[in-house]
Amino acid sequence: MKSKIFYLKLILLFAFSLIQAQSLTKFSGLVYFDYFYNISNKDINKTDLQGFQFRRVFFTADFDVTNKLSARFRIEPEYQGIQNNNKQFVFLKDMYFLYKLNNSQFLAGLMPTPNFEIEERYWGYRSIERTQSDLRGWITVRDIGLLYRGKFFNDNFSYAVMLANNSFHGTETDKYKKIYFHLSNQVTKNFALSFDFNFANGNQNKNIYYTRIGFYGNVSSFTGGITLVNQLRQKALSNNANQFEYGLSTFGNVQLNDEFKYFVRFDLFEPNDKNGKDKEYTFFTGLDYRLEKNLNIIPNIIYNYYENRNFKDDLTFKVTFYYQF
């Protein structure tokens, strides 16, 4: 507990030092707040569980140091759960600097990885749920390292390469590293493609290879996309067998009028853990009501179907309040 208080004080000291030393661009925040009701659940103890929860709270400070150099500092409370006395602790989400070059950028520190931003942007409803690769633990959305990104061919192509610890926001504990690669092409005004490849080496050659192909588009009031993902975990199963996971996610939303949007998403997940019927099918749908410029109220339903019929399906109703400040 003392160590957590020490790190929190250190984070706040760093933030106040930046505020005093640099030109503060802005403070900003983001909140996902729900009322949820578990109509049914794989875990029988969670059936009929209902209540209020914060799923995400960001507090961000952005700084312009010079015309070429900027920095970001972001903290986030994290819910610890019932086994941890229902308490929250604050952890460092982002702390990096960005240096602008002619047609590229160099970043160093704790930062977002390049694998999720384009899919999350077209999905449009991180406030409801993470993208499939994030939800299933296939990608790391934050890491500590170095990143170089830029554009070419009249800015139609974007690329990013990152070398990092593969430790999320924690300290490094081993010699192994992770390489992230992202490439996207804005083919036309209304159509884009993306390709991602990650490689993480591990002890005793227990390496992980991740690839994803994405197709995205927007036409009139409709925005959507489809992604295909596979991941190879070497020696991850019994007898050092390899595990080959794959998934598909298709999603879209349509602007009904100035205030309402409808969204839908379908995921297929195949963990290939050699346990027979192990596929999962997940369905998301909801109606997004924009009450104010920075406040949305979103009633939604999430249904998860298990191919293994020994499990009860998950069905959750939520009313999500998404606001920014």
Task: Record the tokens describing residue 190, joined without a space.
Answer: 């209304």
C-alpha distance across the termini of the chain, in Å:
31
How far apart (Å, rounded) are the C-alpha atoms in residues 205 and 290? 50
Phi, psi of 205 (to 5 degrees): 60, 30
Return the CATH class of domain 2-324: mainly beta
DSSP string, 52-116: EEEEEEEEEEEEE-SSSEEEEEEEEEEE--GGGTT-EEEEEEEEEEEEE-SSEEEEEEEEE-TTS
| Exposure class string for 266-292: b at 16+ Cβ within 10 A, else e | ebbbebbeeeeeeebebebebebebee
Task: Tell me what pLDDT residue 80 has.
Answer: 46
Task: Tell me what pLDDT residue 84 has.
Answer: 44
Task: Tell me what pLDDT residue 146 has.
Answer: 98
**pLDDT tens for each residue of the chain, 325 residues long:** 555 555 555 555 555 555 555 556 789 999 999 999 999 999 999 999 999 999 999 999 999 988 999 999 999 987 544 344 455 667 889 999 999 998 899 999 999 999 989 999 999 999 999 999 999 999 989 999 999 999 998 888 999 999 999 987 778 888 999 999 999 999 999 999 999 999 999 999 899 999 999 999 999 999 999 999 999 999 998 888 999 999 999 999 999 999 999 999 999 999 987 777 899 999 999 999 999 999 999 999 999 999 999 999 999 999 999 999 9
Question: Helix, strand, or coil here: 170?
Answer: coil
How far apart (Å, rounded) are the C-alpha atoms in residues 33 and 55? 6
What stretch of H or E contains 15?
helix 2-21
What stretch of H or E contains 10?
helix 2-21
How far apart (Å, rounded) are the C-alpha atoms in residues 179 and 184? 17
Domain ranges in the chain are 2-324
Task: Tell me what pLDDT residue 167 has.
Answer: 86
Number of H helices, E strands in the chain: 3, 16
CB of 135 within 8 A of CB of 265?
A: no
